[in-house]
Amino acid sequence: MSLLTPENRYAIADLNARFAWALDLHDFEALRDVFTADVHYVSVAHEFHDVERLIASFHARTGTRTTRHGLGNLLLAEAGDSTVTGRGSWHTFASNAEPPQGVEIYMVADFHDTYVRDAQGGWRIAERVITPVFREASLAPGNPPQTIGDQR
């Protein structure tokens, strides 16, 4: 039986939405329900092999951070009995100030993922490698806030 059933596709899409909302709402503890304990996570400036260290890295960020993440063009492929690979295009709007802010894109990146089904039949991300395509370094976490556009 194919792993790429409508139910599994929905569950993986939901997993990605939970990742985005965990970051956007600063609910970093929720990432334990998104990633495997031994996740391999590679971002612009960091590489982790443990969900606890990944969570700690988000908690360690200082200053105000407002983000919204969105996923598009998610392609999934079976990679084993309980493994699916995925590639998606993420866009991140960001500000290092309180909302509302003018709109500025921090990064558009390709995400290369490996999703695994756990013993309960749920899905987790076992690997996420983020490859920037476009990036505005001045909007990176920890940089001073910038005033951008109309701030209604």
Q: What is the pLDDT of residues 70-122, one digit of tens each?
A: 999 999 999 988 999 999 999 999 988 888 877 788 899 999 999 999 888 89
Please indicate whether residue 61 or residue 42 has the higher confidence score (pLDDT).
42
Predicted pLDDT at 121: 86
Q: Is the peptide bond before 99 cis (omega within 30 degrees of 0)?
A: no
- Specify the range with the lowest mean pLDDT, choosing from 16-20, 59-63, 136-140, 146-150: 146-150
Asked whether residue 51 is domain-assigned, the answer is yes
> Can you name the residues that pair with 134 across neighbouring β-strands?
108
Q: Give the count of domains, the chain.
A: 1
Which of 72, 71, 76 has its CA nearest to residue 20? Answer: 71
Asked whether residue 83 is domain-assigned, the answer is no
Q: What is the pTM of this model?
A: 0.89
CATH of the domain at 107: 3.10.450.50
Asked whether residue 148 is domain-assigned, the answer is no
Asked whether residue 133 is domain-assigned, the answer is yes
In the structure encoding, which two tokens stand for residue 103, read together? 């709109």
Asked whether residue 30 is domain-assigned, the answer is yes
Q: Would you say 32 and 51 are in contact if contact means Cβ atoms under 8 Å apart?
A: yes
Tell me the mean pLDDT in the region 131-147.
Answer: 78
Asked whether residue 145 is domain-assigned, the answer is no
DSSP H/E element including 31? none
Per-residue confidence at 136, pLDDT binned at 50, 70, 90? confident
Which of 142, 115, 114 has its CA nearest to residue 44? Answer: 142
Q: Under 8 Å CB-to-CB from 91, ≥6 apart: which residues?
A: 69, 70, 72, 105, 107, 108
Please indicate whether residue 18 or residue 142 has the higher confidence score (pLDDT).
18
Predicted pLDDT at 123: 97
Asked whether residue 147 is domain-assigned, the answer is no
d(CA 51, CA 57): 10
Residue 148 has pLDDT above 60, yes or no: no
> Can you name the residues that pair with 91 across neighbouring β-strands?
70, 108
Structural domain that includes position 28: 6-77+88-139
DSSP letter for 43, please.
-
Asked whether residue 13 is domain-assigned, the answer is yes
